Amino acid sequence: MQKLIFTNDVTPALAALISELNPDRIALLCDSNTRFIAAELAPAGADIIEILPGDEHKDLEQLSRVWQHLSQSGFTRRSLMVNVGGGMVTDLGGFAAATFKRGIRFINVPTTLLGAVDAAVGGKTGINFLDLKNEIGAFQEAVAVIISTRFFASLPPEELRSGFAEMIKHGLISSAETYRRLIDFDICRANLAELLPLLEESVNVKREIVAQDPREQGLRKALNLGHTAGHAFESLALERNHPVPHGVAVAHGLLVEMILSHMQAGFPSAELYRYAGLLKEAYADVPAISCQDYPDLLRLMAHDKKNTIPGQINFTLLRAPGAPLIDQTATPEAIQTALDLYRDLLNQ
């Protein structure tokens, strides 16, 4: 069973894990952003492998560099990788470990909030290929994940807000009470020590869902809440050379999908107003849309790889906070109505 360790004392936690796993060799994987953290955490004798940073380098070339280092330095099936970084590093490093000699053990040490709450737990590893996100990969869990808010102090504020949107999503699909605690938390003036217990609760939501459905055959699809519309916002912003962080786009996708939930599944309208207020305060950096953007947004939603039935757009919806409904669809007309209401709620 995977270990999740929540602590701001990372070095001794890592040392204890290593002592238990007893690997013959250790490599820490990092990028130029996390090189200093990796150097600080590295036990004596460990290798440090540095790859180029950013999602545009989550590719076969960087992956081959990691494989090459492991091969040429004599790593064996008993060796260990420690991935120190954001989602890009834990995704690529997890896939490198999952496939080196048909799989060696790895530990994730996420250094961003988005990485901690989303990428580092759940076993989805992989790389982009031919500009398609996560086109090549494997399901393989880290043997352990060490989660600390200590690394977040130096992150830009939008990274915290981006990760926090995924925490809100976990609240929405798990319980009304958790959701309430999250929207009452002020992420823009966050105290990182106070964030750690909320993060622990949030990561455990994901862990429990993944344990029940590791390969996304059913329940795990609940984690896609906000992502059909969110990915469309993210891709549209990228196409127009005005990129927004993933989680910020998801924060807006959540509102669109709450509205669809209201239209199709009885989600309470009072929640829409409350959540729109949070968006206006903390997530105002997604460009306003107009009805002229609808065809592009619908095209992007139709291309989402979660769609399995041609011509239908798949969503996870909510009956209420804490009550998700997977495998829902909506017509283009319903989605346009939801986008109209979205703009109204945000006064666009």
Write out the two tokens for 23: 């690997």
Choose, by CB under 8 A, the member of 15, 16, 132, 193 that binds a copy of itself: 132
Nearer to a copy of itself, 306 or 319 (CB): 306
Q: Among the candidate windows 26-34, 74-82, 197-205, 281-289, which touches a copy of itself by CB under 8 A?
A: 74-82
Packing angle of the helix pair 157-174, 192-212 (nearest 10 deg): 50
Nearer to a copy of itself, 135 or 340 (CB): 135
Asked if residue 316 lies in contact with residue 325, where contact means CB atoms within 8 angstroms, the answer is yes
Distance of closest approach, residue 135 Cβ to a copy of itself, in angstroms: 6
Cβ-proximal residues to 165 (8 Å cutoff; 6+ apart), any chain: 226, 247, 248, 250, 251, 254, 283
Contacts (CB under 8 A) with a copy of itself, residues 110-129:
124-126, 129
* Contact between 305 and a copy of itself per CB under 8 A: yes
CB atoms within 10 A of CB 314: 19
Asked if residue 81 lies in contact with residue 104, where contact means CB atoms within 8 angstroms, the answer is yes
Residues in the chain: 348
Asked if residue 182 lies in contact with residue 205, where contact means CB atoms within 8 angstroms, the answer is no
Choose, by CB under 8 A, the member of 3, 77, 240, 280 that binds a copy of itself: 77
Contacts (CB under 8 A) with a copy of itself, residues 133-152:
134-139
Distance of closest approach, residue 97 Cβ to a copy of itself, in angstroms: 11
Choose, by CB under 8 A, the member of 25, 35, 57, 101 that binds a copy of itself: 101
**Dihedral sign, Cα of residue 184, residue 187, residue 192, residue 197:** positive
The strand pairing partners of 132, in sequence order, are 129
Nearer to a copy of itself, 215 or 240 (CB): 215
Q: Among the candidate windows 10-18, 29-37, 47-55, 73-81, which touches a copy of itself by CB under 8 A?
A: 73-81
Nearer to a copy of itself, 156 or 310 (CB): 310
Write out the two tokens for 125: 């590893």
**Which class for 90: exposed (0-12), middle (13-18), buried (19 or more C-beta within 10 A)?**
buried
Contacts (CB under 8 A) with a copy of itself, residues 307-336:
308
Distance of closest approach, residue 51 Cβ to a copy of itself, in angstroms: 17
| Site of interaction with a copy of itself (CB under 8 A) | 60, 64, 67-68, 71-72, 76-78, 98-103, 124-126, 129-130, 132, 134-139, 215, 305, 308
